[in-house]
A = this chain, B = another copy of it.
Amino acid sequence: MQDFDLYVPTHIVFGKDRISGLKDAVAPYGKNVLLTYGGGSIKKIGLYDKVIEQLKDFNVFELSGIEPNPKITSVREGVRICKDQKIDVVLAVGGGSVIDASKNICCGAYYEGDPWDLVLDCSKVKKALPLITVLTLSATGSEYDCSAVISNSETNEKLPLFGTGILEPKVSFCDPQYTFSVPRSQTIAGAADIMSHTFETYLVKEGNVLSDAMCEGMLKTVIKYTKIAIEDPDNYEARAQLMMVSSFGCNGLLAIGRTPSPWVCHGIEHEISAYTDITHGYGLAIITPHWMSYSLTEDTVDRFAQYGINVFDIDKNLDKMEIAKLAIAKTSEFFKSIGLPQTLSELGVTSEHFEDMADHMLSHWMPVETAIRPIDKAAIIKILNDSL
A1 interface neighbour in B9, B209, B236, Cβ under 8 Å: B236
CB distance from A11 to the nearest CB of B (A): 4
Given contacts A214-B214, A216-B213, A217-B209, contact A7 B11 (CB under 8 A): yes
Would you call A221 and B209 a contact (CB within 8 A)?
yes
In the assembly, what is the distance between CA of A7 and CA of B14, in Å? 11
Closest to A239 in B: B1
A12 interface neighbour in B7, B14, B18, B212, Cβ under 8 Å: B7
CB distance from A363 to the nearest CB of B (A): 30
Would you call A14 and B6 a contact (CB within 8 A)?
yes
What is the size, in residues, of chain A's interface with B at 8 Å between Cβ atoms? 42
In the assembly, what is the distance between CA of A379 and CA of B227, in Å? 43
Q: Is A208 close to B, CB under 8 A?
A: yes
Stretch of A128-136, A240-248, A324-332 that contacts chain B: A240-248
Would you call B12 and A6 a contact (CB within 8 A)?
yes
Closest to A6 in B: B12
In the assembly, what is the distance between CA of A224 and CA of B127, in Å? 43
Digit string of A206-232 for contact with B (CB within 8 Å is 1, else 0)?
A: 001111111011101100100000000
Q: Is A13 close to B, CB under 8 A?
A: yes
Closest to A10 in B: B7
In the assembly, what is the distance between CA of A244 and CA of B176, in Å? 31
CB distance from A279 to the nearest CB of B (A): 25
Would you call B241 and A209 a contact (CB within 8 A)?
yes
Would you call B218 and A244 a contact (CB within 8 A)?
no
Would you call A5 and B1 a contact (CB within 8 A)?
no
Q: Is A336 close to B, CB under 8 A?
A: no
Given contacts A5-B11, A15-B3, A241-B1, contact A209 B220 (CB under 8 A): yes
In the assembly, what is the distance between CA of A217 and CA of B218, in Å? 13
15 A-B interface contacts by CB (under 8 A): A6-B11, A7-B10, A7-B11, A8-B8, A11-B165, A208-B221, A209-B217, A209-B220, A210-B221, A210-B241, A213-B213, A213-B214, A213-B217, A240-B257, A244-B257
Extra contacts besides A2-B15, A209-B221, A253-B253 (10): CB < 8 Å: A3-B16, A4-B12, A6-B11, A6-B12, A7-B10, A208-B241, A209-B220, A210-B221, A210-B248, A244-B257
